[in-house]
Structure 1
Amino acid sequence: MNQETLRQVPGSAYLFRVRLSATRRGARLARLLTERQLDTWGVLFGDATQVVAELASNAVLHGRVPGRDFRLRLKLDPGPGSSLRIEVTDARADRIPRTPDPGATDAESGRGLLLIAAYADRWGVDEAPAGCKTVWAELTVPGRGAP
């Protein structure tokens, strides 16, 4: 696990980045590290950890390539109307997440993206270098203290 926490100049964004193994343990660690980092920044982390848990789980389940890790990045923009951007980058750009058909209530998978859509203000997918993809979500941050 390679972890990097960066604190920018006061008034600008706070960043946290970590590379984790594409395993169930790595996905669980992503959630735990998110809780710890957001607590350090004084951010209420309930919704954010649910989003991280789902994105990390998807990276492990659907984006895994043997021998390659996934990356978690958190970016907190302070100030009024603070926002948190969560990014999870995995090694499978060819597997783009899609929300399930609303009529398919008996589907065995796909509900996680509905959870992300419910918790996040916005979410999407971007191409990343080296045949990777980044799935991201942005949340408004309530009750933030000073980091």
Structure 2
Amino acid sequence: MQFTSTPRGARLARRLVSHRLDEWGHPYDSTPNETFTLIAAELAANAIRHGHVSGRDFHVRLIECTSKATTTLRIEVADTRTERCPSFETPTPADADDESGRGLFLVAQLADRWCVEPRAGAPGKSVWAEIKLNHR
């Protein structure tokens, strides 16, 4: 889905993720929904703060893959800014008095895997994150 690179666009992306997860059987108040929605919020906020190009939107793609043992939830957030690409090294936490700088640190702590890649077929980058849910 495509969203405007504004705080409203980031808020709508977060709400879409939470709603879609609820539709997929991960209720709003469940740990997977809350965790994945937080990851989505951080990635969307980064897309508008660090990936914004005037007149360009950011894109969100959600994927759910289920096997016998696990379900993998994946989010991909793509923007069109090529030159501002975060390092894939493990992010360090921001200092306590810093007003920003915690987004990718939170994503790295909450996700089972995450990565930054060049955007396929268009200028920019895609940041994706996955969480795995074990079936009982």
> Which 5+ residue runs of structure 1 have no aligned equivalent?
1-17
Specify the alignment match of 2:62 in structure 1: 74
Q: Distance in 2 between matches of 1:100 and 1:42?
A: 31
- Superposition TM-score, scaled by structure 1 size: 0.78
Provide the C-alpha distance between the structure 1 equivalents of 2:75 and 2:122, rounded to a whole number of angstroms: 20
Q: Is the 8 A contact 1:100 1:110 kept in 2?
A: no
Matched, 1:84 2:67: no
Aligned to 1:47: 35
**Shift in Å, 1:142:** 5.5
1: CA distance, partners of 2:37 / 2:134: 14
Q: Which residue of 2 aligns with 1:21?
A: 4
Q: Secondary structure of the equivalent of 2:53?
A: coil
Q: CA RMSD in A?
A: 1.9
Q: Give me the whole-angstrom Cα distance separating, in 1, the residues matched to 2:126 and 2:117.
A: 5
The amino acid across from 1:56 in the alignment is: A
> Match for 2:48 among 60, 63, 74?
60
Matched, 1:30 2:23: no
Shift of 1:25: 0.2
Structure 2 unaligned segments of length 5 or more: list them. 27-31
Alignment-mate amino acid for residue 111 of structure 1? R
Length, aligned pairs only: 126
Contact 2:71 2:135 in 1 (8 A): no
| Superposed displacement of residue 141, structure 1 | 2.8
Percent identical among aligned pairs is 50
- Paired with 1:39 and 1:54, the residues of 2 have a C-alpha distance of 19
- Distance change >3 Å, CA 142–CA 36, structure 1 → 2: farther
Query: Is 1:120 matched up with 2:80?
Result: no
Please state how far the C-alpha of 1:110 moved relative to its aligned partner.
2.0
